[in-house]
Amino acid sequence: MKNESRPAEAGFGRLGLCSGCSYYPDYLNSHRCTPGDACIRAHSGRQIDRFLRTNPELAQNYLNDIFWERRAIAARYAAVDHIFSLKSDADEVVRRVVATRLPVDELIGMVRDPDREVRLSVAARLPEPLLVQLINDPDYLIRATVARRLPHGQLSKLAKDPEREVRKVVASRLPPFALHMLAADPEPEVRAIVAERALPGLAVALLQDEEWWVRLAAVSNAPLEFLPPLVNDPEVEVREAAQARLAEPNML
């Protein structure tokens, strides 16, 4: 005779997690949970997530759970107005979730969070007028994110940033008329970006740069009358670029 156990019995016997669970057996029998796959009592982020994805209305019940991962997953599914208190949760993973979900006008309170990933989320979402709050962040990745989003009129505040990658972002976004602020940058990678975007007068100055790839970038923006000396440049790519530009009028 075939053994036909009921779903609730099979689930209980399989894991034992159903014992004492307030959702047993109704949720199991209605397929709102599955032992070993979707279970709020499991110490498995995957199982907790699947349970709350199916039952998001229960998420707010676990926002103060003792298990950090259960709180973090609950914060993904709970209504936003229930997660404000988790801005100062003891676990950074919980706060990372909160930083991705809070209304932008609530993010200012997290700009000094000790966790870099939290501040990265804040820097990516904070309203532009408030980004100056992160301009002196100790982590260069946050400052680089700020540099990508700052209004042009405030970019000069990062032109002297100690990190090359931040200044590269600034060089790629500054209005061309303001690029002189980075024309003498100690890093050739920054100067090359400046040369690629420079107005003619600044491009002429960068034709004399000690690094050949900066001179190469400047060739495309410098007036033709300043290019003849570059046909004798020690680097073949610079010579060829100068020769190609000087030949352009003859190709018309």
For the stretch 125-179, pLDDT in tens is: 999 999 999 999 999 999 999 999 999 999 999 999 999 999 999 999 999 999 9
The DSSP result for the chain, as a single string, is ------HHHHHHHHHSTTTT-TTTTHHHHTTS-BTTTB-TTSS-HHHHHHHHHH-GGGGGGGTT-SSHHHHHHHHHHS-GGG-GGGGG-SSHHHHHHHHHHS-GGGGGGGTT-S-HHHHHHHHHHS-GGGGGGGTT-SSHHHHHHHHHHS-GGGGGGGTT-SSHHHHHHHHHHS-GGGGGGGTT-S-HHHHHHHHHH--HHHHHHHTT-SSHHHHHHHHTTS-GGG-GGGGG-SSHHHHHHHHHHHHGGGG-
pLDDT at 16 (0 to 100): 66
Mean pLDDT estimate for the chain: 92
Q: 3 pLDDT exceeds 70?
A: no
Q: 64 pLDDT exceeds 50?
A: yes
Provide the token pair at 165: 């990658």
Q: How confident is the model at residue 249 (pLDDT cuts 50, 70, 90)?
A: low
- What span, in angstroms and rounded, lies between the C-alpha atoms of 182 and 235? 24
Q: Give pTM, 2 decimals.
A: 0.84
Residues 28-58: pLDDT tens digits?
989 999 998 999 999 999 999 999 999 999 9
pLDDT more than 70, % of the chain: 92
pLDDT at 120 (0 to 100): 97
Q: 86 pLDDT exceeds 50?
A: yes
Look-up of token digits 């040369």: 195
Cβ atoms 146, 125 nearer than 8 A: no
Provide the token pair at 26: 């109704």
| Among the listed residues 109, 168, 163, the one whose alpha carbon sits nearest the alpha carbon of residue 134 | 109
pLDDT at 17 (0 to 100): 74
Q: 25 pLDDT exceeds 60?
A: yes
- What span, in angstroms and rounded, lies between the C-alpha atoms of 227 and 239? 9
| Among the listed residues 216, 227, 224, 214, the one whose alpha carbon sits nearest the alpha carbon of residue 183 | 214
Q: 4 pLDDT exceeds 70?
A: no
Which backbone phi and psi does 38 adopt, to 5 degrees?
A: -140, 100
pLDDT at 18 (0 to 100): 84
Cβ atoms 68, 96 nearer than 8 A: no
